[in-house]
Each structure stands twice: as structure tokens, then as C-alpha cells.
Chain A
Amino acid sequence: MIGTRLIAMSGGLSAFFLGLALLVYVIPNFVPEPSYSMGDAPGPQAFPRVLAWGFLILGGMDAIAVWLSCEATTWHKPEALGRLALVSAILLAALLATPYFGMVPVGIAMMITVTTLASGQRLVPSLLTAVLFAGAIYFIFVVVAGIPLPMGELWD
């Protein structure tokens, strides 16, 4: 019960800790105040600080409100998380492979892999859809609009 309630509180707690991190570490280190004065005008840190305090207060209030209301929620089932991991891995691999193999070949491979592995569709319609779609995109961008797509270091 406490575990599910903590999951329900995670929205408020995330906002609270974001506010805390902003005030204690991120704003002082990554928003430098200018060395000169702009009179009475608020500096570059002012607005982010207001927001950080807002996260701290509202996030804390939300977490307390959820705790008091006994609101509980559940996380996804393991098989759904497995599918999420699979699709994420395919997309990540596509991202990492694009600079080496080029956007169009990687796009075709990604489309086929997602449709066959994650959706269980047959290979032939997946292959046809992927090749036709990627071909159309290549034609519109490279041939018609003249926008170069990354061709990949491998083919250079």
C-alpha cells in the first residue's frame, strides 16, 4: 500500500525535488549573475528562482494532499514494461546508428524491426510499407526540396 501510495505521490515529490535541486545547485551554478548592475530590474536568476520556489511549495503540497487522500496507483505490468524496453532499445539503436549508416537505411531498418518485433506483423507488408515510405520521404526531401539527409559516414 505504501509502495503504491509513493507512486501516486511521485508527481508532487518530483516537483518538490526539482525545486530543491534548482535552488541549491542548478541556479547558482548554471545561471550566472551579470557582473554589472541593471538598476532595479530583476536579474537572470530572479524568474527561475520564483519558479523553483513554486515547484518546492506546490510539489510539497501535492505530495501531502495525495498522502492524506490515500490515493494509490499502480505501475505498468511487467510485459508492458518489456514492450516499452524493446521499442526504446530499437529507437535508441536507430539514433546511434544514424550518423554511421545514414537516415534512410536506418529508418527502413527501424520501421521493419518495430513492425515485426513489437507488433508481430508479417515481414512482407512491413518491408513494403517501410521501403515505400522511406523512398517517398527521400524523394520529397532530397530530390524535390533539396534538403540533404544524413547519408552516413559508412558510405562517404
Chain B
Amino acid sequence: MDHIALVLEHLSKIELLILLPLAVLGGMVIGAIPGLTSTMAVGVLLPFTLFLDPLTGVLILVGIGKGSLFGGSISAILMNVPGTPAAACTVIDGYPLAQKGQAGRAIETALWASFIGDLMSVVALVLLAGWLASFGQKFGPKEFFALILLSLTVIAALSQSGLLRGICGGMLGLLLGTVGLDLVNATPRFVFGSDNLAEGIPFLPLLIGLFALPDIIEHYMSKARDLKPHVIDKTRYTRADFRKTLPTILKGSAIGITMGAIPGIGATASTFISYAEAKRSSPDRAEFGKGALSGVAAAESANSGTKAATLIPLLALGVPGDVITAILLGAFYFHGLTPGPLLFQQNLPFIHALYIALFVSGFCILIFGYALKRWMTLIASVPRDLLYPPIVFLTIIGAYALSNTMFAVYTMFAFGVMGILLRRLRIPAPTVLIGFVLSELLEDSLRQALLISRGDVADLFQSPLALGLHAATVIVVTTVAYRAIRRSRFGKVGSAEAQE
């Protein structure tokens, strides 16, 4: 009874009841405007959530992320421009449907696919996170070291810039994480005589600088024109449509959950896998690309299916799989909570309240999706030129509000410059952020393991679990390197043939 009372106490906070639906709604609006990404939104709004209680703060960020996944499909369908990267696949069939005068039907298909994908993902989280956390209790320092190394390698390997630059990005994050006072020896590292750096590089300015500012600067560099969206018509997603697309939605959700639970794959890749599978198994294969409802359903169910699933490794083991979960990990730390097996032991009511709120937020998507339908054309056509300067102002305020010093603002701009440079150098910024977040945990695990083994590096490979994780790391590196070499060889042959 005490447990239920504690869960209800978490859930009955008035700010949660008001702010969670608003966060989902805000996420949908942000996702619907091309150029505004959920990463940008979550990063910019994170400072403001730190003044709230932990559950509300974390759920606002999750709500924005969930809402934006569906929101991305709005501009994909109405404007042929994915509002978020994860909606790139929705464009393929969503926009042709809008051209045929069936934008309303396409939006409702995306809405139901997102809703079902999201619910299934939360069910998977409830079923798997606790089990994985109890398994994680067997982890000692060397197993954690091996696990983090594997996660970082998988994330780096799956980055679009290739394995080497992905790992370089991860290492840059790890290096940035070492700045400040070394907790074991109490000696300063890379502080360069600055008192401000003694506590390390602040997380928020780094996050906002790396992810929000470069997007805005790139917008002004490319001077992309705002497009005119299609108008929402009165076509509906009927029961017959639902029956026809349900198998695709269920399959897409399962693919999304599987891909989301593996660090590094993320929503975008899962939508393409789901779409390819839907096309392969569909009797109406020829319709795909010309306005197939199943195409929209496959993409949307998969991208929403990843959302709660990405929380499985985060909550159970403390390992983030993408940028949003890395930001969430930072938010957990800010609130004094450490995701991992201990969270399940010490804060189970918090976890259960989180599960319930995640279910509720799924219903919010469905309700707001229908409520907003007639306004979607208007939302998608908001000019970015008017939106970006206030966002820059908000980033400045957000960075300042955390520490009440201009140092955080200067740091944010410095990382903004770094973010632009990283894009030019094609080093993936998400791996930098994830490396930064995991740096302390990785170094502590390594140092503890070596302290226990009295400096014997071979001991890192002694436990079967650690050995298995290291073997998986080697397999990932070898496979990706082999594929890259093969691709470059075939690429050369292909280009030579083309020249002939």
C-alpha cells in the first residue's frame, strides 16, 4: 500500500498534470516546424526543467521527444519536408497522399501508428527494464567498463560519418569529461588556471552549444526558403484502413522497439528498416512510394516504437543510446538520481510513476493529434526566420539561469563554434555528447577495476561477462571496418566502370 501511495504522490503533483500534456503538445508543434528539432527543443528547455521536481522535469523532456516524433510527420506529409530526421521515411508515401488530396487520411494514419507504436514501446519498457536492471546488479567495475566501451563503440560505428570519426567524436567527449578536478587525486586537469573550469565543463552550455546553435547558424548560411504546406482536407482514416494497416503497425512497432533498445541505432534507421519490411511483405508493393497508407504506418509506428525503448538501457544500466537519452541522463544527474540497477532498488515508486506517465503521454499524442488537426497547416508554415532569433535568446537565458554567470553563456557560444566545426569536419556531435556524459563513469570504472586488480590490465578480461562484452566490441569494430573497406573497394570499381 505504501508503494502505491508513493507512486500516486509522484503522479498527483499539479505541475506534472499541467506540464506533461503541454510538453507533448509543444513537442508536436516543434516537430511540425521544419528546422526545429527535438534535440534543440529538449536542450533549450532542459535548464527550465531543473527547477521542477525530478519526475516532472524528466517527463517534460520525454514528452517533448515523443510529441516531436509525431509532429515530424506533419510537415513530412504536408510539405514534403520531414520535420525531424525520423520522419524522413514518412515523406515517401505521406506527401504523395497529400498531393492526391488525402492529407487528412495520411495524418490520421501517422497519428494512430504513432500512438500504437508508442504504447507498445512503453509496454516493452515496463517488461524489460526491470529485468535488465536486475541483471545489471551482477555488474562490477570491469563489466561496467566493458559495457560502456561497447555502447560507445556501437554508437560510433553506427554514426553516419563512419567508425573512425565516430570513435574520434566519442573520445573528444570523453576528453572534455576529464576537465576539472580529478576526484581520486584531487588534482586539476585541463583547468588552464580558470576557477570556473575547476568543477568541469558545464553540461548544459555544452549541450545547447553543440546542438541548438549550429542548426540555427546553418539555417542562416543556407538561407533555406520556407515552403507552403498543403491544406488539411476532410479525408479520414477509416476502420477498413485501420484493419488493413494494423499488421504493418504492429510489425513496425516491434522493429522500433528492438532498434530503440540497442544503443546507437535510433529512430531514423528503424523507420527505414520497417518501411523496407512493410514493402517487402505487402501485396500492394507497387503502391509504395506513390501514396501507400502502409508506408506511412510502417515509418511512424517504428519511429514512435523506439522512444520508450531507448529508455530501457538508460534506466536499467545508465547507458544512453542516443542524444535525447544522453540529455535525459544529464537531467537525472542534475536531479540527484543515477539511472541503473540502484535506481530500481532505491526509487521504485519513481520508476513506476514514470511508466504510468509515459502511458498517459501516449494518449496525449492521440488527443492532441485530433484536436490540432485543423491547425496543422498553420503550425507548419510558421516562418523560421522569426523563430530562430527568440530561440537564440532563450539559449542565452537558459545557459545563464543555471549558474547566474556569463561564463556559462560564453561556454555555450564556444561549443556552438565547436559544433559548427565538428559538422565541417564530419565528426558526429551526438557521439561527443554521449562520450562526455559517460566519461566519468568510464574512467571511474577503469580506475576501480585496475585498483582492485592492482594494476593488472589482463584482469579486465577475466570475468566471462566482461570478456563477452569486449568480444562483442571487437566483433562490431571488425564488421564495420570490413564493410567500410569492402564498400570503398567496390565504390572504386563501380566508379571506374561508370567512367568507362
Instruction: State the A residues within 8 Å of B (CB).
Output: 10-12, 14-15, 18, 22, 26, 30-34, 38-44, 47-48, 51, 54-55, 58-59, 61-62, 65, 69-70, 75-76, 80-81, 83-84, 86-88, 91-92, 94-95, 98-99, 103, 107, 110-112, 114-115, 118-121, 125-126, 129-130, 133-134, 137, 141, 145, 147-150
* Minimum CB–CB distance for A52 against chain B, Å: 8
Q: Interface range on chain B: under 10, 10 to 19, 20 to 34, or 35 or more? A: 35 or more
Q: 5 extra interchain contacts, Cβ-Cβ under 8 A, other than A59-B168, A83-B220, A121-B385?
A: A40-B451, A41-B447, A83-B221, A107-B393, A129-B390
Please tell me if the beta carbons of B168 and A38 are within 8 angstroms of each other in the complex: no
Q: Confirm or deny: B19 has a beta carbon within 8 angstroms of a beta carbon on chain A.
A: no
Bound-complex Cα distance A10 to B182 (A): 32
Instruction: Choose from B51, B385, B451 the contact partner of A119 (Cβ within 8 Å).
Output: B385
Closest B residue to A31 using CB positions: B189
Residues of chain A with a CB closer than 8 A to B22's CB: none
Bound-complex Cα distance A86 to B217 (A): 10
Residues of chain A with a CB closer than 8 A to B187's CB: 31-34, 44
If the complex has contacts A87-B217, A115-B389, are A47 and B425 also in contact, measured as CB distance less than 8 A?
Answer: no
If the complex has contacts A114-B392, A119-B220, are A47 and B443 also in contact, measured as CB distance less than 8 A?
Answer: yes
Closest B residue to A41 using CB positions: B451
* Minimum CB–CB distance for A12 against chain B, Å: 7
Please tell me if the beta carbons of B406 and A99 are within 8 angstroms of each other in the complex: yes
Q: Confirm or deny: B374 has a beta carbon within 8 angstroms of a beta carbon on chain A.
A: no
B170-198 to A contact mask, C-beta < 8 Å, 1/0: 01101100100010111111111000000
Q: Confirm or deny: B450 has a beta carbon within 8 angstroms of a beta carbon on chain A.
A: yes
- Mostly helix, strand, loop or mixed at chain B's interface? helix
Residues of chain B with a CB closer than 8 A to A76's CB: 221
Give 3 nearest A-B pairs by CB, closest first.
Answer: A40-B455, A119-B385, A111-B389
Instruction: Choose from B383, B393, B443 the contact partner of A111 (Cβ within 8 Å).
Output: B393
Closest A residue to B51 using CB positions: A145
Instruction: Choose from B192, B221, B447, B492 the contact partner of A30 (Cβ within 8 Å).
Output: B192
Bound-complex Cα distance A118 to B388 (A): 11
If the complex has contacts A31-B187, A38-B184, A137-B393, are A80 and B222 also in contact, measured as CB distance less than 8 A?
Answer: yes
Please tell me if the beta carbons of B167 and A133 are within 8 angstroms of each other in the complex: no
- Mostly helix, strand, loop or mixed at chain A's interface? helix
Q: Confirm or deny: B410 has a beta carbon within 8 angstroms of a beta carbon on chain A.
A: yes
Q: Confirm or deny: B454 has a beta carbon within 8 angstroms of a beta carbon on chain A.
A: yes
Please tell me if the beta carbons of B404 and A148 are within 8 angstroms of each other in the complex: yes
Bound-complex Cα distance A26 to B188 (A): 13
Residues of chain B with a CB closer than 8 A to A12's CB: 164-165, 168
Q: Confirm or deny: B397 has a beta carbon within 8 angstroms of a beta carbon on chain A.
A: yes
A-B contact pairs, 16 of them (CB 8 A): A10-B425, A15-B165, A15-B168, A32-B187, A40-B451, A44-B189, A55-B168, A65-B164, A70-B492, A84-B217, A88-B217, A103-B397, A119-B385, A120-B385, A130-B390, A141-B401
Residues of chain B with a CB closer than 8 A to A54's CB: 167-168, 171
Closest A residue to B161 using CB positions: A11
* Minimum CB–CB distance for B185 against chain A, Å: 4
Please tell me if the beta carbons of B184 and A62 are within 8 angstroms of each other in the complex: no
Bound-complex Cα distance A87 to B450 (A): 49
Residues of chain B with a CB closer than 8 A to A112's CB: 389
Bound-complex Cα distance A120 to B446 (A): 54
Residues of chain B with a CB closer than 8 A to A114's CB: 220, 388-389, 392
Closest A residue to B421 using CB positions: A14
Please tell me if the beta carbons of B164 and A84 are within 8 angstroms of each other in the complex: no
